[in-house]
Amino acid sequence: MTEPKSKDEVLSVGAKTYIEDLAKEFVYNFQRIVSSKEMEKGTIVEDQSIALLNEVLFTNFVKNTERKTNDWITGECDIFSGVKIHDIKSPWSLATFPATVFAGRDKDYEWQLRGYMMLWDCDQSEIDYCMVNTPDELIRFEDVSMHYVDHIDPTLRVTRVPYARDKSLEDKIKTKVDAARVYFDNICAQIAIEHAA
């Protein structure tokens, strides 16, 4: 969703590079698996993070398992309360935990939430950064004091970053996706032409 440097363009250089990679995966029928210790932690501790959020907010949220799709995007939000989307983020360590709303603002996460609000027809959303212990097998040689956090007050371990729905930004999503599809088709065609026998 980054804006391109030229006003005549719809897609940024980064977006085009990403789409070129997707086109290559499509043409050559493979899928690149992206993984990191930070992503692993997020997957492993998701239930603990939801439990922490419930403890702090006095709620009984459960993990959403419904995936929604419209003409432009698809997504599966972490929690839909009926009135608000919650997206759970489990920071790697206290060093990467955003302790303020300002520190928790992230353009990529914001666009993710805007997509969810669009899909669920929902006016409110928030990123919930939930700091929970890192699994021992992931820590390795780092200072464990940055990873063991159960002794810290739960309210200090949840940072909530709110976003309100903006339909003009949803229109930008639609415009970018439409342009991305055209660019994807063009790259697939270019690969075919350049490799024709």
In a domain, 194, yes or no: no
In a domain, 135, yes or no: yes
Tell me the pLDDT of the chain averaged across its residues. Answer: 95
Task: State how beta strands 68-69 and 74-75 pair.
Answer: antiparallel
Q: What is the pLDDT of residue 27?
A: 94
In a domain, 124, yes or no: yes
Question: Rounded to an integer, what distance in angstroms lies between the CA atom of residue 163 and that of residue 12?
Answer: 24
User: Whole-model pTM?
Assistant: 0.90
In a domain, 190, yes or no: no
In a domain, 6, yes or no: no
Position 140 confidence tier, pLDDT thresholds 50, 70, 90: confident
State phi, psi for 34 to the nearest 5 degrees.
-100, 125
For 62-95, write each residue's pLDDT tens digit. 999 999 999 999 999 999 999 999 999 999 999 9
State phi, psi for 132 to the nearest 5 degrees.
-125, 165
Q: Kindly state the tokens that stand for 191.
A: 């690969």
Number of domains forming the structure of the chain: 1
Residue 159: exposure state from Cβ atoms within 10 A (0-12, 13-18, ≥19): buried
* Contact status, residue 162 vs residue 120, Cβ threshold 8 Å: no
Position 197 confidence tier, pLDDT thresholds 50, 70, 90: low
Structural domain that includes position 45: 34-184
In a domain, 193, yes or no: no
For 16-62, write each residue's pLDDT tens digit. 999 999 999 999 999 999 889 999 999 999 999 999 999 999 999 99
Q: Residue 117: give its domain's CATH number.
A: 3.90.320.10
In a domain, 7, yes or no: no
In a domain, 175, yes or no: yes
Stretch 151-162: mean pLDDT: 98
